[in-house]
Chains A and B, each alone.
Chain A
Amino acid sequence: MDDDNKLVKRTLRGDREAFEMIIRRYQQPIVNYIGRMVREREMALDFSQEIFLKAYASLDSFRPQYKFSTWLFKIASNFLIDYWRKKKLPTLSLDRTPGEDEDGLPIQVADDTVSVVRSYELQEIRGRIETALDRLPPALRELFVWRHINGLSYEEMAEIKNLPLGTVKNRVFQAKETLRRLLEEPA
Chain B
Amino acid sequence: MSCLKNEEIYAFIEGELSERDGRRLEAHAAGCAGCGAALEDRRAFLAAAESLPSLNVPEGFAAGILRNLPPESPPFRIRLWLASMAAGIVAFSGTLAAIALLSGQNLGAYLAHLSQAGLGYFQDAATTAVKLMKYIFLFFKVTREFAAALFNVFKQVTAFIGPEAQASFLIAALFLLAAGVTLRRRRFASLENRHAK
- Chain A residues with CB under 8 Å of chain B are 12-14, 16, 19-20, 23-24, 27-28, 31-32, 35, 41, 44-45, 48-49, 52-53, 56, 60, 107-112, 115, 117-118, 122, 125-126, 129-130, 144, 148-149, 151, 173, 176-177, 179-180, 183
Contact B65 A53 (CB under 8 A): yes
Inside 8 A of B117's CB, which chain A residues have their CB?
A: none
**Docked CA distance A32–B14 (Å):** 21
What's the minimum C-beta distance from A14 to chain B, rounded to whole angstroms?
5
**Docked CA distance A31–B10 (Å):** 26
Inside 8 A of B73's CB, which chain A residues have their CB?
A: 14
- Chain B residues with CB under 8 Å of chain A are 2-7, 9-10, 33-42, 44-58, 61-62, 64-66, 68-69, 72-73, 75-77, 79-80
What's the minimum C-beta distance from A140 to chain B, rounded to whole angstroms?
13
What's the minimum C-beta distance from A131 to chain B, rounded to whole angstroms?
12
Inside 8 A of B7's CB, which chain A residues have their CB?
A: 107-108, 173
What's the minimum C-beta distance from B85 to chain A, rounded to whole angstroms?
17
What's the minimum C-beta distance from A134 to chain B, rounded to whole angstroms?
13
**Docked CA distance A109–B56 (Å):** 39
Given contacts A23-B61, A53-B65, A149-B49, contact A110 B44 (CB under 8 A): no
Contact B61 A130 (CB under 8 A): no
